[in-house]
Structure 1
């Protein structure tokens, strides 16, 4: 979709693609273990939910890198077309997979499924294609999600909001104005995390006032901090950048819950400091590295290719797996074969969706709409 020499000659941050893939795989692992937890205090890969905040920051950095110097050659409409071409086909695929899996999740955990007529399922699927959120009154699962066929759609909804804010307003901000916005957003994020009744930043998936507040707070700092990072840092060179940044990211996400039930604010502080301080370091290190051998290049490219497809298609499998685990009261060791099958299956579905659907559809859309 590149149209200018400036874009095609820019170095590509291949390691950032690899980090996105690492984060996406960690999301799948987090959700598998979540099915076996008794509460938010004992989930293995306990901070896997922070991948959403990492994705937001990475998106802000990449959007700034790709578009900040291009507004003399592209229009706002062209920008929105490009973002739709990049994101929307897999949104649709995720909703289709969610609809296919829906009735297989009927269980004690999701008693509403057994009462839902097919027409209502199809209506929610079509609405989901647009990413327009549905209110709790239209929920067909019981979790009050804005996208009950594919829960992670909520973060794409907020991703689009960030893109709209960037294209219409914030791209014009000076570095100082952007820094002020990021500072205010960081303070709001810190306040949300340490005062949260659950001791974390989890939330944003419903259009209730409380959940919308969480969603916007989780969006504003990381996305626009990523944009600010792109504008102000001078990238140097760091050896073994993929190794160090990847290990640091995994360490942050797998950190056990801290503070316990008696000191929830401690875990909230960990969440906020991870987003505000550690994630920018990870992205900087990833951007400062280079890939020199074919094996590393293939790994980073593969991880980058499947990162978005696996994120947006895996959760319908999690619904079914979670319902099965709860109904049968299975421990992780008892469900290990199925958990491994889910993990591998999620990768296969993501890669097949990418190659057989997403890439051909995006290529067709580019030809139809023009570069």
Structure 2
């Protein structure tokens, strides 16, 4: 099975000015840098799942880095944090409308999605025929994550399911951001509880595993991993943490060493998973299992007080790679899939692990090129068009 996560707003978005005088750092550069490592984890988990033979790469995938869709919660949580940080004040003073916000966010993710999805859709229709048209339409309109069928939510460029989910989060954000701090916290607490209750109920109902008894991706996987409403939990946690940091003035929620500890705990969660996957219904790993580690990681890095945060913030190359993470997310799955197809057609011309490393390096390089020469110019043009002065109405 190949399940592809990876959408976000925070990853495609540029670092945002904080506008908070009590905090000396003017940008969340450490979070930008961390986006690259999170994208890398997702890509490596996909690479590990694609080989057709049992080998060191597939062993690593099963026992260390599998379930990338659980860790994609980092991006949803970071998206809620960054959007709240960037837009809450604008909504509060009436400087931004619901419609204008949605237009900007859709134009942030949809053009690059179409750049990859359209050629894949043309190839898919040529191979499948017109019976594949509903799948193509759902994918191009970013509606696929609402459909609990693997052929839909994993169609074309499979990681785009998370863009579909992110689009739902965009529609909810203007409503959530107008809630008082207490009401948002109550909602967040309810969603966290639901994120643990839902998998338990599904497990009791016989939907506790990603794969059903026939080897197909089951309903429980869609409900806990792909379903946009379930992903609202991580998004809302990100918003709550943003408000905690902003409203806390000089209060520090975590010690200085917490950012390093958060990264260690995040990696440890991946390793612990391998020892628990046979004992716990695996749909718990789609979201619930990683919630504490992801929240700890985002909050610790957002505070930015420790040596790890300062080191990440000071690495110009890592910050650039973090800014390219949306492009990497968009392009990596087609490259990996076609690359492994060529590998097997050529009867494995070299050991698989070195080939996979070279292929992932190619993904990173293509992501950098797409970001620098397509995504950035396109976004500058879009911003220029959106920010153009309104024409005066005729007298």
Q: What band does the TM-score fall into relative to the shorter chain?
A: 0.7 to 0.9
CA contact 2:145–2:228 (8 Å) conserved in 1: no
Match of 1:18 in 2: 33
Per the alignment, residue 77 of structure 1 pairs with: 99
Paired residue secondary structure (1:55): helix
Query: Are 1:281 and 2:296 matched, yes or no?
Result: yes
The answer as to whether partners of 2:313 and 2:319 remain within 8 angstroms in 1 is no
Tell me the SS of whatever aligns to 2:304: coil
Q: 2:372 is matched with which residue? A: 355
Please say if residues 131 and 153 of structure 1, whose CA atoms lie closer than 8 Å, have aligned partners that are also in contact: yes
2:76 counterpart of 1:60: no
Map residues 291-370 of structure 1 onto 2, 5 A cutoff. 296-321=314-339, 334-370=351-387
Relative to structure 2, which stretch is displaced further, 224-233 or 81-90?
81-90
In 2, the alpha carbon distance for the partners of 1:321 and 1:244 equals: 36
Asked if the contact 1:34–1:44 (Cα under 8 Å) also holds between the matched residues in 2, the reply is: no
- Return the TM-score normalized by structure 1: 0.77
Instruction: Please state whether the residue corresponding to 1:31 is helix, strand or coil.
Output: helix
Distance of aligned partners of 1:161 and 1:33 in 2 relative to their CA distance in 1, 3 Å threshold: same
Cα gap change, 1:7 to 1:149, in 2 (>3 Å):
farther
Report the alpha carbon displacement of residue 159 of structure 1 after superposing the two structures with TM: 0.7
**Structure 2: gaps of 5 or more residues:** 1-12, 389-395
Q: CA 1:329–1:286 in 2, change beyond 3 Å: closer, same or farther?
A: farther
Question: Residue 56 of structure 1: CA displacement?
Answer: 0.8
Q: Secondary structure at the match of 1:69?
A: helix
Matching residue of 2:391: none
Query: Residues 313-337 of structure 1, C-alpha deviation per residue, up to 9 Å, x if partnerless?
Result: 211123335656788997xx94123
Q: Tell me the residue number matched to 1:31.
A: 46
Residue 224 (str. 1) matches residue 239 (str. 2): no
Equivalent residue for 2:191? 185
TM superposition score normalised by structure 2: 0.73
How many residues end up aligned between the 2 structures?
A: 349
Q: How many angstroms does 1:210 deviate by?
A: 7.6
2:161 matched to 1:161? no
Aligned-partner Cα distance in 2 for 1:132–1:152: 13
Q: How does 1:173-252 map to 2 (within 5 A)?
A: 173-194=179-200, 195-196=202-203, 211=222, 214=225, 215-233=227-245, 234=248, 236=252, 239=256, 243-252=260-269
Q: Distance in 1 between matches of 2:113 and 2:103?
A: 15
Aligned counterparts of 1:274 and 1:210: Cα–Cα separation in 2: 14
Alignment match, 1:106 = none
Partners in 1 of 2:168 and 2:87 — Cα distance?
A: 17
The Cα shift of 1:302 comes to 2.0
The aligned counterpart of 1:46 is: 66
Partner Cα distance (1:198, 1:30) in 2: 23
CA positional deviation for 1:176 = 2.1
Is 1:133 matched with 2:148?
no
Partners of 2:49 and 2:221 lie apart in 1 by 23
Change (3 A) 1:311 1:188: same
C-alpha contact (below 8 Å) 1:35/1:325 kept by paired residues: no
The alpha-carbon distance between structure 1 residues 208 and 95, as it changes in their structure 2 partners (threshold 3 A), is farther
Distance 2:188 2:132 in 1: 40
Matched-pair contact (CA < 8 Å) for 2:262–2:300: yes
Q: CA deviation at 1:231?
A: 1.4
**Residues 132-173 of structure 1: CA distance to partner in whole angstroms, max 9, x if unpaired?**
439989x9xxx5133511111111111110110111x21221
